[in-house]
A = this chain, B = another copy of it.
Amino acid sequence: MSATTEFSRLASSREVTERITSFFERRIAGAARYGGAFEQLWRLAEDASSGGKLVRPLLLLDVYDALAPERGGAESAGRETALDVAVAVELLHFSFLLHDDVIDQDTVRRGRPNLVGALLEQARESATAPRSHTRRLHWARTGAILMGDLLLSACHQEIARAEVSRRQRVDLLDLLERTVSESVAGELTDVGLSHGLVPARLATVIGMTTHKTATCTFELPLRAGAILAGADAGTQDVLGAVGRHLGLGFQLQDDLLSTFGDPARHGKERYSDLREGKQTALIATARTTSSWPSIEPRLGRDGLTDQDAAWLAAELEACGARAAVEGLVREELAAAVELVDDPATRLAPSLRAVLRDLTRTLQGRCA
């Protein structure tokens, strides 16, 4: 990334952060009249949502800035709207994280208590809180379900109110509708896979991964940036396809990192996927090999020792599953590059530069 790009990304990041802060400030101020518990829920939600890398809003703004006619004019009305929609995209992400955490029964995210964890801590410190852990957990999960609803609603509100043309509004609403449907379908399939209710074929796992991650993390911001910049339908569709390839590649990398990466760098608990028995592409591939009978009984065991987990990781490598998924990642990133470089896609040179930059970042990713 060039120094200029780096600088403009920092500026965008600050603008998005300011807007997210001001969103929460308005909501906290409005919440007070509905009682202390509701106000406190908003405060904890702000805290739990802070510190992210803002991947999605920054992608949206990168595309918008590359394509918008008044590019560079940071003060323009169009860019203000792009910032509002960038915030909406991040709120959608927060909302999904909250409901995923409830569904996955997690209380920690990236080494910090998530909203459920924060509500639990708060209840532990309250004199009037129920003494039973089950009841405190119920309170904490209730808070996360309800805050997820509020943020999902807020995302739709921001997009419905965006100052855009009728055509753009319909395009954004269609995009949002599909994103919500696919993300939910992906999450449902993920849980179905983990319970054995959905057969764990590789194609199913790849579809689930695309829907659960690629749509919301890459396709949504890339397409939204193009819609807001007034790009034609062809450009939007190319960006959608590029987003799906990059998003799938990104999540498959995540799966690899969880098992073979350095926890100090990727921030998740080492071997957590193996302990949870997550149905990733790595596992779906291993299932088709002759090593499966020795892998299966250890997978998803709660008390899996680090030694056993390391053995499993070595086995996943020896059976060729690691190499196969690494191959998939290379294919997806290459497919994205091919689309970006194809003269037939007629992407603006400025947009090509942004997408090449993004692909390079993913290619060198180890965290």
- Annotate A155-194 by CB proximity to B: 1 below 8 A, 0 otherwise: 0110111000000011001001100111011111101100
- Expressed in whole angstroms, the minimum distance between the Cβ of A343 and any Cβ of chain B is 32
Q: Are A30 and B181 in contact (CB under 8 A)?
A: yes
* In the bound complex, CA of A130 to CA of B157 (Å): 39
Q: How far is the CB of A32 from chain B (nearest CB, A)?
A: 11
**A103, B185: Cβ atoms closer than 8 Å:** no
Q: B149–A148 contact, CB under 8 A?
A: yes
On whether A34 and B177 interact (CB within 8 A), knowing A146-B188, A149-B99, A188-B142, the answer reads no
Please choose the segment from A75-83, A121-129, A308-316 that sits at the chain B interface, where 4 or more of its residues have CB less than 8 A away.
A121-129
CB distance from A84 to the nearest CB of B (A): 14
- B161 and A129 within 8 A (CB): no
Give residues 209-245 of A contacting B (CB, 8 Å): 211
Question: Judging by beta carbons under 8 Å apart, are A123 and B204 in contact?
Answer: no
Chain B nearest CB, measured from A200 CB (Å): 11
Question: What B residues does A159 contact at CB under 8 A?
Answer: 160
Tell which of A35-43, A318-326, A327-335 binds the partner.
A35-43
Q: Place the interface of chain A in its size category.
A: 35 or more
- For A92, the closest partner residue in chain B by CB is B153
Q: Select one of B35, B180, B207 contacting A185, CB under 8 A.
A: B35
Q: How far is the CA of A148 from the CA of B192 in the complex (A)?
A: 17
Q: Which of A173, A188, A196 has the most CB of B within 10 A?
A: A188
User: Shortest Cβ distance from A155 into chain B, in angstroms?
Assistant: 9
Which parts of A245-304 form the interface with B (CB within 8 Å)? none
Pair A169/B180 contact, Cβ less than 8 Å: no
List of B residues within 8 angstroms of A142 by Cβ? 103, 187-188, 191
A139: B residues at CB distance < 8 A: 191-192, 195, 197
Closest to A95 in B: B149
When C-beta atoms are compared, the residue in chain B nearest to A37 turns out to be B192
Please state if B182 and A34 are interface contacts (CB–CB under 8 Å): yes
Distance in angstroms from A98 CB to nearest chain B CB is 10
Partner of A37, one of B157, B188, B211: B188
Asked whether B149 lies within 8 Å of A196 as measured between CB atoms, the reply is no
**Chain B contacts for A176, CB-based, 8 A:** 153, 157
24 chain-A/chain-B pairs, Cβ below 8 angstroms: A30-B181, A34-B182, A34-B185, A35-B192, A37-B189, A37-B197, A95-B149, A128-B196, A128-B197, A128-B199, A129-B196, A129-B197, A135-B195, A139-B192, A146-B188, A148-B149, A149-B149, A150-B184, A152-B153, A153-B176, A153-B180, A156-B156, A160-B169, A161-B173
Which 8 pairs across A and B sit closest by C-beta, in order of nearness?
Answer: A160-B160, A156-B156, A34-B185, A38-B185, A153-B180, A146-B184, A37-B192, A142-B191
